[in-house]
Amino acid sequence: MSKVHTTLPAADGFFMPGEHAPHDEIWMAWPERNDNWRNGAKPAQATFVEVAKAIAEVTPVTMTVSADQYDNARSRLPENIRVVEMSTNDSWMRDIGPTYVVNGKGERRGVQWEFNAWGGFVDGLYWPWNRDNEVAGKICGIHRDESYKAGFVLEGGSIHTDGDGTLYTNEECLLHPSRNPDMTKEEIEQSLKDHLGMEKVIWLPDGLYNDETNGHIDNLIHVAGPGKIILSWTEDKDDPQYEISQRAYEFLSNVTDAKGRSLEIFKVTIPGPLYFTEEEAAGIDMSEGMEREAGERMAGSYANFLVTNGRIILPLLDAKHDDAAREVLQKAFPEHEIVGVQAREILLGGGNVHCITQQVPSV
């Protein structure tokens, strides 16, 4: 087991780099839960394979998979994708993997958060979650990277950074009573600064409409770089998302980042709205925690993409809006290649491309 430090990353000179910085590896986890993924998770598995292949052309990919699914995953994935047997409860690597910090001197360490399935016994989506909560430490061990145990509940999808001193999050998620009810907003903010080496935390009010993670920031915005924000948008005043996007835009238009920059905001129109079909809902085993019923609105978002080594993996979700989303992202990332992957099957499980990936930064 790699060393776990009892100090704080910021005090040790470490900070979380932006997602646009170079990556050594992308981690993913193989989907198989029948109460979250329809038809025995086979459609989702096919989509995860396509995402992994698109990433692996520019960044090495490791897929964790249960013992029962190992042979299946290994046979479906190309040889250049590493497959590692590891126990998980589901497949949201963004939230269960380590958040990496670096020090600019060629060292990196992982931060292990506490994971409680987006709400624990208050409004968590499944139980148990003990295997998910061990993943971050296991990944650090595989890379022989030293780490920190933060000791409070956080998911990787609830934070975004510009890599230049600014962290973006939102109150709906981090201040939710199901996360860290014994901590004040000020204490949570200080802990984020201490563990991620940040100078300023920007707190948006809400997350995307009907997001079952209590509104993860990575569904509402993406940080394209210092002072550049991609924002999920709609012009439809009858859509409940309209007010949320308006509030976020007004808020972001009136803040400055850690370096005093005003923010350039790129609006990307949300897909749909998208809803579960009868057929999709019928293919899922019923469970208590997750709403998977026909007519249920899904939290579809083009902001939920991955940036890795000069490439963007963009979820394709709606033929009416996919091309427009690609154009907006190309403006925000003029040097990047944009590769689209049909991603409805990931959305059916409650997230998207960003949610199922976690990067290991290069040092």
- Confirm whether 315 is domain-assigned: yes
How close are the terminal C-alpha atoms of the chain, in Å? 21
pLDDT in tens, 261-281: 999 999 999 999 999 999 999
pLDDT in tens, 154-210: 999 999 999 999 999 999 999 999 999 999 999 999 999 999 999 999 999 999 999
- Confirm whether 260 is domain-assigned: yes
d(CA 75, CA 56): 16
Q: Is the dihedral of CA 67, 69, 75, 80 positive or negative?
A: negative
- Confirm whether 1 is domain-assigned: no
Nearest to 312 by CA among 281, 345, 289, 335: 335
CATH number reported for the structural domain that contains residue 212 in this entry: 3.75.10.10
Q: How many domains, the chain?
A: 1
- Confirm whether 2 is domain-assigned: no
Q: How far is CA 179 from CA 184, 220, 304, in A?
A: 11, 19, 22
Q: Which domain holds residue 55?
A: 7-361
- Confirm whether 16 is domain-assigned: yes
DSSP-derived letter for residue 223 is E
pLDDT in tens, 41-92: 999 999 999 999 999 999 999 999 999 999 999 999 999 999 999 999 999 9
pTM for this one?
A: 0.97
- Using only the alpha carbons of the chain, give its radius of gyration: 19
Percent of the chain with pLDDT over 90: 95
Catalytic positions:
355
Residue ranges of E strands in 94-242: 99-102, 108-114, 147-153, 160-161, 166-170, 200-204, 221-225, 228-233
β-strand pairing of 61-65 with 166-170: unpaired
- Confirm whether 33 is domain-assigned: yes
- Confirm whether 143 is domain-assigned: yes
Q: Is the pLDDT of residue 288 over 70?
A: no
Percent of the chain with pLDDT over 70: 98
pLDDT in tens, 88-139: 999 999 999 999 999 989 999 999 999 999 999 999 998 999 999 999 999 9
What is the residue whose two structure tokens read 């579960």?
276
- Confirm whether 66 is domain-assigned: yes
